[in-house]
Structure 1
Amino acid sequence: MGNARVRATNRGRSSDHDRAGSQGRVSDVGLVAIEPLHDLTSSSVGELVAESERLGLRLVRRLADEWATGANRFDRPGEILFGVSIERRLVGVCGLNIDPYAGDERVGRLRHLYVLSAFRRMGVGRQLVERAMKAAHGRFDAVRLRTNDAAAARLYEKLGFRRDVGRDDCTHVANLAPELRS
């Protein structure tokens, strides 16, 4: 379930998914499995925690800590945590919660998207978000998120999220219910 091929490229060159006709040399990074994570251990996310903290980010540490304490295990109706593994190595995560700030259980929140630096710009983050959004359909009318990272914001906007300015609790929203889309 959730297997796909991801293509890597040399820096600055296009992937085989790019239809612009670039002549980048493509190499295969191996079989990718995107699956729900039901047990998050420090050993399973240790590499992600270490790298994200070296980069000054706390989101993966917060994910691991909240899982360990039981504060957030993505176990309420409609919630799920996905992990992406390449050749059995966990290289990224992305979660979907009921948005605790919305006051409405039909509003989801995309949380803790993180992909190891070596696997970025290969479509891994996009696939994680798409998988989470597929899970959100039918359960949530909207999905919100908060990011202060410009590259992440561009990714979310390419995937159909729109900026939601003037709010402290989110920066982007994707309306899933037909009557809410504009």
Structure 2
Amino acid sequence: MVEVLVLHGSPGSGKSTLARALSETLAAQDVAHGVIDLDDFSIVYPYAGRQFPRDNLRAVWPNYLAVAPDMKIIIPLVFADEDEVESLREAVPGAQLIICETTAPVPVLRARVTEREPTEAWRERLRNYVDLYHSRSDHERIRHFQVSTHPAPVEQSVREILEKAGWPAAEIRVA
């Protein structure tokens, strides 16, 4: 069975950074895996709606299974609510979802999105999304476990995620 490690969390919590670091670590251990970034699947103008990236995922999912039927998949994303967990499950039939919520203090998250975004409009949008994310009360019902990405270095967060997910964690090396 394909295991899908979902890195769910607020904007700025390190999901994409950790997905790349996890990929490097798994590759160093010769573990078949893939990273599917739903943010990239959703870049289309005009905006096609929140279901659009999951529809794209559903379309490419058989290609990942064809590579290695027991591969590990990493998907960084933000669940807007509990219903989106079921929507993701439907897009990856037969997969086991392991949901890790990545966290950091709100001021750190706001600073991270402010530093990385190219325009003030995007910075403000994501700072507001950080606040909205942290006003929700459903996080415990969505996640299987939680990992703090601050002040921990990436290598420590990768080790903790792999251990909690039950994935190979020997010789963690992050490029």
TM-score, reference length from structure 1: 0.31
The structure showing larger relative contact order (alpha-carbon pairs under 8 Å, at least 6 residues apart) is: 2
Kindly name which structure, 1 or 2, has the bigger radius of gyration based on alpha carbons.
1
Q: Identify the structure with the greater helix proportion.
A: 2
TM-score, reference length from structure 2: 0.32
